[in-house]
Each structure stands twice: as C-alpha cells, then as structure tokens.
C-alpha cells in the first residue's frame, strides 16, 4: 500500500517527475475496471491501457469503458497497439511497439495501397498528438524519435518479475538514452512507489517513470 506522504507528493503541483500507470489486468485482485478507478483516484500523469493480448474488438470495447473512467477522474489515457480502434473511438494518444511504429511509418511514407496489406492505409503520425514506444537501446530511441514518437519508455531499468532471469539495463543505460534524444524518456521496469528511486531516475534525465505491478495492486 502507498503511504500518505507519497500520496501528498503526487498531488503537489510543484513536483516535476511524472508517473505513468501501466495496466495489466492479470495482476489485479479485483475486477479490472474497479482497479482502474482505484488507480485513477491516485491520479497518475497518464494511464497506458496495455491489454494488447486481447483481440482488437475486445480491446476496443474495454478501451471505451476505461476512457470513460479516465475522463471522469481527469486522468489522460494512452491506448496501446490498436491504433485503428483508437481512431474509431476518437482518441489521439497511442503507444505502439517499435516494430509496428516502424512498419506504419514506412507504409505511410510510401503511400502503399496493396489490398493484401495487413496495415490500414489511413495511418498518419499527425492523427495522434501523443505517440509512445518502448525502446531497449540508444539506437532504438533515436529511431523512435525520427519516426515521430513524442515520448519513449526505456528499460528495463531495475530488476523486475516481469523480466525474470534478464539482468536490468540500469541507470547508465537510462542516462545514455536521455542524452541521445530530445523527446521525453520514461524509465520502466522495477519502478516502485519510492520517491528516492524516482529521484535516481530524474538524475539521469528521465522525465518520469512507469509503474505496473504497484498500480495493479493498489
């Protein structure tokens, strides 16, 4: 559980370190939408609806409900992977896996109209005011910026159960990514409700951090 001092820090308008809540319905101990309401009560800087294992039609139906919840709490929501669903819902914030961002950007630039293409021809970077992607190297981050990403998540920074057996990339990696791009960088992987940890990320140049497990178990 989060102690009151951290809650107060989160509501301090002078705090300049952002927290993104990352969803994972498989980690919840209560109905998913109830958990999202609990997360929104904490008021993160944004919620990334990451349920990318759902079929697109199911994701879209879920996203509609989550967008309504986020709007009620005035929490920005970033949809994940299913950009066509986002556009159909009239939403202009999306997080795309880097290979998908790369493919979509190439398709858009070449104006391909093949009927056999699995990528819709209607994607344009300008359709979205916010486009994020996940990066695992400095080269990834630089490419993401060239492709039109407005922010990146870089990781994993600390040891995390989500990446069992894989050593963390660490704070030096985060600093190198932050130094290489001009867009905001969020650390991800093993981030907790720990202001001292947040400060260590901030010192490397990160504008914020991402929390998944902690958010899903509030």
- Residue 43: give its domain's CATH number: 3.20.20.70
Question: Does 154 reside within a domain?
Answer: yes
Token pair belonging to 84: 């066509």
Q: What angle do CA 195, 199, 202 make, to 5 degrees?
A: 135
Given phi > 0 = left and psi -120 to 50 = alpha, else beta, which region is 183?
A: beta
- Burial of residue 203 (CB within 10 Å: 0-12, 13-18, 19+) is exposed
Question: Does 6 reside within a domain?
Answer: no
How many domains are contained in the chain?
A: 1
Of the pLDDT bands very low, low, confident and very high (cuts 50, 70, 90), residue 18 is very high
Question: Does 210 reside within a domain?
Answer: yes
Question: Does 2 reside within a domain?
Answer: no
pLDDT digits (tens, 9 = 90+) for 158-205: 998 776 778 999 999 999 999 999 999 999 999 999 999 999 999 999
Question: Does 10 reside within a domain?
Answer: no
Question: Does 28 reside within a domain?
Answer: yes
Question: Does 108 reside within a domain?
Answer: yes
Of the pLDDT bands very low, low, confident and very high (cuts 50, 70, 90), residue 13 is very low
- Contact status, residue 117 vs residue 110, Cβ threshold 8 Å: no
Question: Does 171 reside within a domain?
Answer: yes
Domain boundaries, position 136: 17-216
pLDDT digits (tens, 9 = 90+) for 61-118: 999 999 999 999 999 999 999 999 999 999 999 999 999 999 998 877 765 455 455 5
């Amino acid at each position: 559980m989060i102690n009151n001092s951290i809650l107060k820090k989160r509501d301090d308008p002078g705090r300049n370190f952002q927290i993104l809540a990352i969803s994972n319905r498989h980690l919840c101990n209560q109905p998913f939408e109830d958990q999202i309401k609990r997360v929104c009560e904490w008021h993160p800087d944004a919620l990334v609806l990451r349920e990318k294992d759902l079929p697109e039609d199911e994701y879209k139906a879920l996203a509609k409900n989550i967008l309504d919840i986020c709007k009620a709490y005035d929490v920005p929501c970033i949809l994940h992977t299913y950009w066509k669903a986002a556009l159909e819902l009239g939403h202009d914030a999306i997080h795309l896996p880097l290979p998908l961002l790369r493919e979509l950007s190439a398709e858009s630039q070449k104006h391909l109209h093949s009927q056999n293409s699995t990528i819709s021809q209607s994607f344009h970077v300008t359709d979205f005011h916010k486009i994020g992607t996940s990066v695992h190297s400095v080269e990834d981050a630089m490419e993401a910026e060239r492709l039109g990403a407005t922010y990146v998540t870089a990781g994993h920074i600390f040891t995390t159960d989500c990446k069992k057996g894989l050593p963390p990339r660490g704070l030096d990696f985060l600093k190198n990514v932050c130094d290489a791009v001009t867009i905001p960088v969020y650390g991800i992987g093993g981030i907790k409700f720990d202001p001292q940890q947040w400060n260590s990320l901030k010192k490397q140049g990160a504008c914020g951090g991402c929390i998944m497990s902690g958010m899903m178990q509030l």
